[in-house]
Structure 1
Amino acid sequence: MNALHWLNEQFSFFGLPVYWSDFLGNILALATVWLALRRSMAAWPVQILGSVLLLIASLNVHLAGNAARQVVIIASASWGWATWRRTKERTGAIDVRWATWTERAVLAAVMVGGTLAFGALLKATDASFYPGAPWWMVLADAWIFVGSVTAMYAQARRYVEFWFVWLAVDLVGVPLAIHSELYFSGIVYGIFFVLVLVGIRDWAARSARPAISPRRGTLSA
């Protein structure tokens, strides 16, 4: 562990104190978004490594919800990686599509219901921020956790909506990261916001293009 102690140390980033684990984890998180935009298989292992580093950063500032988020992201990324690999072996490409209205309703229900349930758990166990932390902080922590898991699922299913879920996470993540003194995370969340908008446009355009079925040589949606 001593060899990795430097990950818990801070350095000055344009006058802001930044943990090395927070800095490197977010650099990899940015790379993950760019690779996802390109529908690259490499997005998944890069995300796993970045989440390990962000787990360390979250534990440094006692963000239990965000720490749990990283653990689940690692597991979800492993599943998503396997899902994309099977899809590519079967079809030869990673095609994307819009979710159905039923699928959208499920995603929304999970986001809202999951946030309330996980927030209640964090509040009851005083596991988020500090004992007696206000509800808005706990629910924000829970929202980021549930939203990230939901986005990972939607990404693995290749729904265009996965970008919208990340957008909802970013809108809460920026002020929460700054409030928690994870300043570099706040900056990166802002960059995520721009990349997510690009991702929505790109995946939406790709979902509208008909694809050639490799088996039948016919057009398919």
Structure 2
Amino acid sequence: MNWLNSEAFTLFGQHIKWSDMIGNVIGLIALALGWRRSLWSWPVQFLSGLILFAAFATAHLSGSAGKQVVVMAVAVYGWRQWRSGADRAADGHVAVRFATRTERLLLLGAAAAGTLAVAGLFTLYPSLSWDPWPDAYIFVGTVVAMYAQARGMVEFWFAWLLVDLVGVPLNFANGFAFSGFVYVVYGALVLWGMRDWWLRSRRTARPALEGAPA
């Protein structure tokens, strides 16, 4: 597995690792499938997490490896949630919606509490992360975003955008240049996907309003 962390090529003076490139390209495909509301978004996300877990584990980056374990667990949850077909649109894909006020507060509260808890753990055990606060922020933000995606919430795109704002400089600073470049592409996909889900949520809500009793 040592080849995973070997250098593939150099791009703009940055050394690109095979693991960084392969895992993140697959993750990018998973996000694109999520934009299309495809069930395959989840197994592809799981594969991305598996590759990155192997890469980080062999590089002795326990915190980053642990993040991928959680990502894979949430991917399994998302697969089961979307596969159940509880919330399907007319085209057979998962229906999307905006979160309720209570759900938004719960997401924000979970993100804040989770970041404090994980950052505290990383601070107590420095071997888990060299950048405890931004690493914790990205770790928890990723989990919150994936959970919101599994529930079909438009807010999942906002969560991803907030993760990207910290993820780009952090990845460049830690030598995972390809992750940094991919996060920039993530940003463009997030804005595109956010618009698509936003419009779809309005189309989903309109028939419900029209069918409501006067």
Q: TM-score, with normalisation over the residues of structure 2? A: 0.89
| Helix, strand or coil at the partner of 1:75 | helix
Contact 1:128 1:141 in 2 (8 A): no
Deviation at 1:219, TM superposition (A): 5.0
In structure 2, the partner of 1:75 is: 73
Judge conservation of contact 1:32–1:47 (CA < 8 Å) in 2.
yes
Q: Which runs of 5 or more structure 1 residues have no equivalent in the other structure?
A: 131-136
Structure 2: runs of 5 or more not aligned: none
**Map 1:1-221 → 2, pairs under 5 A:** 4-14=1-11, 15-59=13-57, 62-87=60-85, 92-130=92-130, 137-210=131-204
Q: Deviations over 1:53-87 (max 9, x none)?
A: 12233335554332211100101101110110002
Task: Give the C-alpha shift of residue 207 in structure 1.
Answer: 0.2
Name the SS of the counterpart of 2:85 in structure 1: helix
Other structure's SS at 2:192 match: helix
- Taking only aligned residues, the RMSD between alpha carbons, in angstroms, comes to 2.1
Where 1:97 maps in the other structure, the secondary structure is: coil
- Number of aligned pairs? 207
- Alpha-carbon distance in structure 2 between the residues aligned to 1:173 and 1:77: 20
Write out per-residue CA displacement over residues 79-103 of structure 1, whole angstroms, 9 at most, x where no aligned residue.
Answer: 1101100026976431000001110
1:61, 1:174 → 2: CA distance?
Answer: 20
* Partner Cα separation in structure 2 for residue 202 and residue 145 of structure 1: 26
Preserved contact between residue 22 and residue 182 of structure 1 (Cα < 8 Å): yes
Residues in 1 aligned to 2:111 and 2:103: alpha-carbon distance in whole angstroms: 12
How far apart are 1:40 and its partner, in Å? 0.6
2:179 partner letter: S
**1:167 to 1:10, Cα distance in 2 relative to 1, 3 A:** same
CA distance in 1, matches of 2:128, 2:188: 28
Cα distance 1:27–1:125, how it changes in 2: closer, same or farther (>3 A)?
same
1:134 corresponds to which residue?
none
TM-score relative to the length of structure 1: 0.86
2 CA distance for matches of 1:90 and 1:42? 15
Contact 1:35–1:43 at 8 Å: present in 2 too?
Answer: yes
